[in-house]
Amino acid sequence: MTVGRTWRFTSGPSAASTHDRSGYRNRINQLRQAAPDVDFGLPWPEYRSWFWTYMLNGDYRRSRSHNLVAALLPLTRRGSLPGTPETCFEIGYEALLHPFALTTLVHLQLTDTTSWSNPGEAYERLHATLCGPLVAGGQVRDGLPRAWLTNLPATDLSGDPLDFREAGRFTLVSGLHQAVADPDALAAHLTPLFDGTTARRTERLRTDRSALSATGDNIGFVLPHDLPRAGQRARCLHQNYATMLGYVQNLATLTQTAAVAAGQWWFQQRAAIILNHLCRREKLPETGSIYQSRLPELWIRHRGITGAIDRLTPPSVPALA
């Protein structure tokens, strides 16, 4: 399970940015030479990242800075949070920082692997998990508080005080199923367990008997347990999906504001172009690659932001709506 929480940067009535395009590229170049223990660094994990392999290329660590900027590469900070007797989970966190937005992710690995086949029981357990405390403050469902992170930017590009405005939350739950014939229905049944609503969108995936669903702020993903290395695949896909959602959430903050500060117009259009290509699963011309998952399209259409994306993309880019 992952709980995400997003803030967009503002200064007065306008969206704000901590860097312009040139400063953003310089910051990435600086971090290429920086020690690995910086607060926010390049987003490469210790293990091979399939997300960045598909977004950039197989040798993503050596990608040209031009391509990293074109893909709006986020800076990332990762760590772990101590578990508590009330939750009994392994808890990690991740923060994705762009010059214009921040998303925090709280990752929970359930230590209890018993079946959740009874809907009433599953609801109670999900509810208890989300209401469990975080040592960082608040409950799991609140996500990681921004105040818990150190060395966040304090001023915008012009030196004015930077404000952090709430810009949405999401909860992603992934699970293995007992080889049911209709994974769409199962995925659609999973997300309403959070709040009792009806799943609005479901999407069958290329992997046999796997599906995604979305309702409200919730996303569910199911994969059959009888696939080879099913547990490992589910964990890998869940991590990729969580990173993707945090990345998309940050970019989407720029499509939902009309007023942008000086130096930010390029970020706004670039974010719209990337979201458009992710939604269409079409490779970015600058990188020759894209993460071809059905999740971005599901989430973008579920959030109802296709029109806002289309208004910001140039005429040469096919419209989504």
In a domain, 265, yes or no: yes
**pLDDT over 70 at 78, yes or no:** yes
Helices 230-255 and 265-280 cross at an angle (nearest 10°) of 140
**pLDDT over 50 at 179, yes or no:** yes
283 near 317, Cβ under 8 Å?
no
| Structural domain boundaries, residue 299 | 2-310
In a domain, 139, yes or no: yes
pLDDT at 21: 93
The pTM (predicted TM-score) of the whole model is 0.90
75 near 41, Cβ under 8 Å?
yes
Supply the DSSP symbol for 20.
Answer: -
Return mean pLDDT, the chain: 83
The one-letter amino acid at 98? H
Quote the longest CA-to-CA distance of the chain: 57
Please state the domain count of the chain: 1
CA dist., res. 288 & res. 56, Å (int): 8
CA angle, 136 then 138 then 144, to 5°: 50
CA dist., res. 266 & res. 89, Å (int): 42
Mean pLDDT of 24-40: 83
In a domain, 268, yes or no: yes
In a domain, 256, yes or no: yes
235 near 50, Cβ under 8 Å?
no
CA dist., res. 74 & res. 270, Å (int): 14
In a domain, 316, yes or no: no
Among residues 263, 231, 268, 262, the alpha carbon closest in space to that of 250 is found at: 268
In a domain, 218, yes or no: yes
Higher-pLDDT residue of 298 and 257 is 298
